[in-house]
Amino acid sequence: MPLDAQKNAPLVDAFGRAVTYLRMSVTDRCDLRCTYCMAEHMVFLPKKDLLSLDEMARLADAFIRRGVRKLRLTGGEPLVRRGVMDLMGDLSKHLRTGALDELTLTTNGTQLARHAEALARLGVRRVNVSLDTLDPARYAAITRLGSIEKVLEGLDAAQSAGLSVKLNALASRGPFEAEVDDLIRFAHGRDMDLTLIEEMPMGATGLNRSDSFLALDDLRMALAQRWAMTNLRHTTGGPARYVRLAETGGRLGFISPMSCNFCALCNRVRLSATGRLYTCMGQEGSVDLKPALRGDKAQLGPLLRKAIAAKPRGHDFESQSVSQPSVRRFMSDLGG
Ligand code: SAM
Ligand code: SF4
């Protein structure tokens, strides 16, 4: 193989899984403090520890050269990082060259109204928006700082700009179970997919997760009493399993890493905002790419290859208790 092709050979791990999907956290900060995600009084990283936007773009380039076809920005809240739209602009060149199939982001939607049109102009086709309830008071309680109107405006703006929207809702015991049918009707009535997420034991939030944890297997059984579901083969290569509901015609996804092992098909890796590469969300192991990025750039390729080769076979959530964080880092350090 010529040297250049060898340097940029696709990233394939020891189990033959090709890494084609990169999720990049652009900040650990957020304008909300969702109870399942963050502690009430969070200590965020000093800004000087974060990669610059230029460094993030260079890292993304390095992954794309080696076969990544899908890139998702996340956080924290990606839209609170200053200059993030410049980064999106920079990354969108890969859509135009055809090197990237998809550029997208996961957002809480609070700033989406301001950015939706620009995102669509850059070639973003769809966004994931997290919304766990339609009840303004519950929304304020879950997010501690948020107001649901802003998210609803964001959804309107996204759809007016032609973006397709998938809603993500974190499933929990209690009011959520009573409200989930309304969420389904809301999402499907607006032509949005809805994905239900099982709570993962990441980060010490100060709350006992076993008070809120709802196994999606149980929720799914309850939903099946009320909705006619057909399993779909649709997959994103990720943990979501989809069904179609006869009553709405819409798609409903289930992400249940605690009770269902999706790792055999895992095609993704995650980059923290400080430049650490995590090859498995459910494990602590990571490789710091910052020194290579800032120092001897020739080291970056071999480092990526070595890190991917060591991608674990799978996470270890099943053996953990839901009440204790099995992974000390918060979800917001890396994005979902
Ligand atoms: N701020 C953005 C948002 O909320 O969409 C992006 C980052 S957020 C960490 C990404 C997703 O992770 C959200 O859909 C959120 O519900 C989910 N999430 C946060 N903490 C979680 C946890 N402990 N278990 C499962 N999902 C979690
Ligand atoms: Fe912020 Fe998203 Fe975490 Fe909520 S889930 S606190 S919006 S990062």
Measured in angstroms, how far is the CA atom of residue 76 from the centroid of ligand 2? Answer: 6
Q: pLDDT tens across 205-251, in order?
A: 888 888 889 999 999 999 999 999 999 986 666 678 899 999 999 99
For residue range 86-114, what is the model confidence (pLDDT) as tens digits? Answer: 999 999 999 999 999 999 999 999 999 99
Nearest residue (CA) to ligand 2, atom 3: 37
Whole-prediction pTM: 0.93
Q: What's the token pair of residue 323?
A: 């009440």
Q: 91 alpha carbon to ligand 1 midpoint, in Å?
A: 23
Instruction: Provide mean pLDDT across the span 125-136.
Output: 98
Give the CATH superfamily of 3-331: Aldolase class I (3.20.20.70)
Query: Given this model, what pLDDT does residue 310 score?
Result: 83
Ligand nearest to the CA of 166: 1
Mean pLDDT of the chain: 90
pLDDT at 124: 98
pLDDT > 60? residue 268: yes
Per-residue pLDDT tens digits for 67-87: 999 999 999 999 999 999 999
- Mean pLDDT over 155-182 rounds to 97
Q: Where in the chain are the domains?
A: 3-331
Note whether 79 and 119 are within 8 A (CB). Answer: no
Residue 167 to residue 130: CA distance in whole angstroms = 6
Asked if 105 and 128 count as a contact pair (C-beta separation under 8 A), the reply is yes
Residue 135: pLDDT band by 50, 70, 90 thresholds? very high
Which residue among 278, 320, 331, 334 is best mutated to probe the pocket of ligand 1, counting the most ligand atoms within 8 A of its Cβ?
331
Of the bound ligands, which one is closest to the alpha carbon of residue 78?
A: 1
State how far the Cα of 21 lies from the Cα of 63, in Å rounded to an integer.
9
Which atom of ligand 2 sits closest to the CA of residue 330? 3
Residue 209 is predicted with a pLDDT of: 82
Residue nearest to atom 11 of ligand 1 (CA): 336
